[in-house]
Amino acid sequence: MTATTIRPLALSELPFARDCVYIGYAVRARGALDLAAMATAYDALRRRYPALGARIERRRDGFDFVEPAELLPEMVVSDGPAEAVFDEVDLGQCQALSQLWVRRDGADEWVITLFSHHSVTDSATGQDRVAQLWAYYTTASEGALDTVEPLPFPSPVEEILAARGIQRPAWADQVPATATVRTDGVDGRARVVRQPERLRLTSELTTALIDFSRREQVSLNGLISGALLLAEAQLRDASLASLLYMFPVDLRARLDPKVSIYEGTVVLGFVAHAPAGEGAATIADLGRAINEQVREGLDSGVVQQSSLLIPDGSEGGVVPQIPRLVTASNWGRLPQLLTPAGLDIHDFHSMLASAPVADSPQDLPPNYIISSFGDRLSIEVDHHGGLVASQQDRMGILETILRQSVSAL
């Protein structure tokens, strides 16, 4: 029996289906966790957000979102060290676009990870769903949940932009398609789960960087971006001018009318920044240049149109093959998560899952994730399933650059 189609995937969503990409939002908790209440909360979350229970099916002319299966995958519970990678996770986009995985480490240590398919998730929606999951859990652990009203299935960014009069520019047809990294996504399963290498700054260094950003009148994200570029140039023994820095920009608050957190799937624009400077540039200099390009791109509409530049008929995946490319995503600060008495959330980090990469990991660009939890900033880098030692080198160089920058004041 053929499943009921919700809608075809838009061009902005297709790469994540081809590569079977899921984003994992991992919360670390200590104390008493009620597994039955968490399962109830996850069921409520999928009722609230139909996209999390939907599936993706490959059709002759592309991919479609289809209605959920009659039986949705249950929450998975396993035992093992909190630090271990979830190598036993098996995520299939033909089964569901989300999965909740709970790992129990001893009597009272837990890792609760919500995996959400990237075609229906960006950092804003992902973190909102994590916050909603914990709100449902707290309510369920203390009593019964009220009726959950489902939201409409979210729209692609193409429809959101078109409704606001933003169209694909005529010159976009002259832009050649960018080659992307090849993955083995033929079976629609994310069989490779990765926990990125992580640099978790101390609260003291985080505070020092915030003070530095205010004095220099450059955003904290700009400072971190400048440090990433300096670290990459040093690690690769390359000039700054030879690097290309690409990152997404959340468009929700930058469109008129604004876009609600529930309205779209991947509501992002993109910026490609080519630094103009050599080794003498500071993280503040680089950050200002990045911030200025973002402002100018938003004012001119280039950033808003960037999601419309994917050529029709493109077969590309997520990761572009561009020499000396560096990519990063700023997730911002994780919202305050509700918990019942007796359970404390003490950390948060990302997880990534995708189809296996067919290309050599040495050829893949580093992908950084910047986020804050509590009073500490974290910077993570995806090692694409290999080269752990080089990612540790990246983190060491990056921390040195950040510490030297604030100590030079």
What's the CA gap between 137 and 44, in Å, rounded? 9
Average pLDDT over residues 349-371: 81
pTM: 0.94
Residue 119 confidence class, pLDDT cut points 50, 70, 90: very high
Residue 165 confidence class, pLDDT cut points 50, 70, 90: very high
Average predicted confidence (pLDDT) for the chain: 90
Q: At a CB cut-off of 8 Å and minimum separation 6, what does 155 contact? A: 263, 264, 265
pLDDT tens, position by position, 303-316: 999 999 887 666 77
Rounded (5°) CA angle 138-344-120:
60
How confident is the model at residue 75, as a pLDDT? 95
How confident is the model at residue 176, as a pLDDT? 66
What's the CA gap between 379 and 357, in Å, rounded? 23
pLDDT tens, position by position, 207-218: 999 999 999 999
What's the CA gap between 239 and 276, in Å, rounded? 10
Q: Residue 301: is its pLDDT beyond 70?
A: yes
How confident is the model at residue 287, as a pLDDT? 97
Angle between helices 283-300 and 220-236 in degrees, nearest 10: 120
Average pLDDT over residues 383-404: 81
CA distances from 169 to 45, 163, 307, 310, 409 (A): 38, 15, 11, 11, 45
pLDDT tens, position by position, 241-288: 999 999 999 999 999 999 999 999 999 999 999 998 655 789 999 999
Pairing of strands 192-194, 343-354: antiparallel
Q: How far is CA 195 from the centre of its chain?
A: 13
Report which DSSP code applies to 264: B
* Burial classification of residue 107, based on how many CB atoms lie within 10 Å of its CB (0-12 exposed, 13-18 middle, 19 or more buried): exposed
Helix or strand or coil: residue 166?
coil
What's the CA gap between 123 and 250, in Å, rounded? 9
